[in-house]
Amino acid sequence: MIKKGLLLCFVCMLARLLPAQDTLRVFTEEDFLTAVRNNHPVAKQAGLLVDLARAGLLSVRGNFDPVLAFNTDRKTFDGKNYYNYTNAEVVIPTWFGVELYGGLENNFGDNTNREITLGQSSYAGISIPLLKDLVLDKRRAALQQGKLFTQQSEFERRTIINELFFDAYKAYWNWAKDYQVLQVLDTTIALNEARYKLVRISFEQGDRAAIDTSEALVQLQAFQQLREDAWLKYRKSALELSVYLWLPDNKPAYLPENIIPDTLWSKQQLAMYKIASLDSMLANAALNHPKLQQIDFKLQSLEIERRLKFQSLLPKLDLKYNFLQKGYNLGNAFKNNILENNYKFGVSAVVPIPNRSGIGDYKAARIKLKSTELDRNFTALTIENKVRFHYNEVVNLQKQVRIYEAALDNYRKLYNAELLKFSFGETTLFLLNSRETKVLEAEQKLLELKTKFYQAFAALNWATGLLQ
């Protein structure tokens, strides 16, 4: 797949540098979609969303990194050493909301703070939230939301690709149809040029009236006019297709005239397209559509936010305990009873009254959650309706194509019979031209219906969220 895409890009680069070649290159739907997937700026941007989310998750994980701090503070004046404080500390956050820490101190001087332990000392401690932040705090909430956002970004990428491919499919099939119409008109014009020459010869030999040459020429000129209009539409659709073609160096690529679409589709029987049941497609869309998956991850993130805001309703009650030890050997401190000697213990409590800020934040989180649930229900219904519509469209177009294939076959039979009668001089050129015009109109109509089918088939996969 990737090799084909690179080959296409190489061909496009050569086409911009070299004159047009007579050799035609078939550009299949698969080649086109590979090029879009690999080189289109929107597809690349969608991939960057995942990278950005991963970078954000890495940043959030940094909130649980151990922190090493060192502080020294010294004052001397007029030959007197007032104080000299030295403190090295390491703080280790944990997933459970508990903080572990330890440090070394060396304090001396003539005017040190009375609470400071003089000389060398060491400590190891723990800080535990007992109410607020015990179940969930900002660090843990941010990490959980970061993991969800990383998964959500993947489905956001799929949503963007799904939309991009849908538009790309429509552009490709318009281009393929316009090319095929051009080929039908070229064939028709070639037949009419040959007929015009035969009618002229017959007139010169006295077998045909002069008006028949005018009749043949008018028919030829009408088809030539249709051909010019079809050529303009084909070039326009080629330019519209080029919007989706980019080179690996982020420069736009333009289709040269010797690049043509695949033409086998016009001869394929659409009955070969096996369409899954409507119920299975609806179930698949309900479970796997990237838009719904995005909203599901958003709901999970909002639930985390609601739980975090609930913590703001609780009083803040924290417990802090330190082992203390003279010198730098903490091992001796653990031999004593934790509340017997050489310890520092404290409890802090904060109770906001009446805590309107916490109540307001919690209500806002619940409202966001409810709003997103409603949005999911609406999005699910919208997706279901789109799947139903495009499924019915595909089934209906399959039937229309079968009907029109039979109609075209009958038009051709009438034309061939009229052509045989014309060769025996039993009918007029006007009737023959009328039969031929009907055949041409039927061919164009059938191509249009088949194009609509392929576009509708792509639309069904788009509505189900399967275009990747």
Per residue, the 3-state secondary structure of 383-404, as one string, reads HHHHHHHHHHHHHHHHHHHHHH
Does the pLDDT at position 265 exceed 50?
A: yes
Full DSSP string of 304-345: HHHHHHHHTTSPEEEEEEEEEEETT-GGGGGGS-TTTSSEEE
Pairwise CA distance, residues 17 & 37, whole Å: 24
Q: What percent of the chain has pLDDT over 90?
A: 30
- Helix (H) / strand (E) containing 92: strand 80-93
Does the pLDDT at position 344 exceed 60?
A: yes
φ, ψ dihedrals at 391, nearest 5°: -65, -50
Which amino acid is it at 380? A
CA 132-136-137 angle, to 5 degrees, is: 75
Q: What is the Rg, in whole angstroms, of the alpha carbon atoms belonging to the chain? A: 39
Is cis: bond before 354, omega within 30 of 0?
yes
φ, ψ dihedrals at 96, nearest 5°: -90, 10
Lowest mean per-residue pLDDT among 73-82, 234-243, 281-290: 73-82
Which amino acid is it at 32? F
Cα 312 versus chain centre, distance: 37
Instruction: Give the pair of three-digit tokens for residue 153.
Output: 């970004």
Nearest of 1, 455, 20, 43 to residue 255 by alpha carbon: 20
Does the pLDDT at position 333 exceed 60?
A: no
Instruction: Give the pair of three-digit tokens for residue 313.
Output: 């309703």
Tokens 């401190």 belong to residue: 333
pTM above 0.75, yes or no: yes
- For 132, the 3-state DSSP assignment is coil
Per-residue CA distances from 145 to 18, 298, 304, 447 (Å): 53, 9, 7, 51
Q: How much is the pLDDT for 1?
A: 39
Q: Are strands 99-108 and 80-93 parallel, antiparallel or unpaired?
A: antiparallel
Nearest of 322, 32, 389 to residue 175 by alpha carbon: 32
Q: How much is the pLDDT for 339?
A: 61
Lowest mean per-residue pLDDT among 9-13, 353-357, 359-363: 9-13
Q: How much is the pLDDT for 101?
A: 85
Q: Are strands 343-350 and 67-77 parallel, antiparallel or unpaired?
A: unpaired
Q: Are 81 and 113 in contact (CB under 8 A)?
A: no
Q: How much is the pLDDT for 16?
A: 43
Mean pLDDT to the nearest integer, 85-100:
86
Instruction: Give the pair of three-digit tokens for residue 375.
Output: 């949005």
Nearest of 348, 332, 454 to residue 33 by alpha carbon: 454
Does the pLDDT at position 327 exceed 80?
A: no
Tens of pLDDT, residues 104-157: 888 888 777 777 778 888 888 888 888 888 888 888 888 888 988 988 888 889
Pairwise CA distance, residues 124 & 153, whole Å: 42
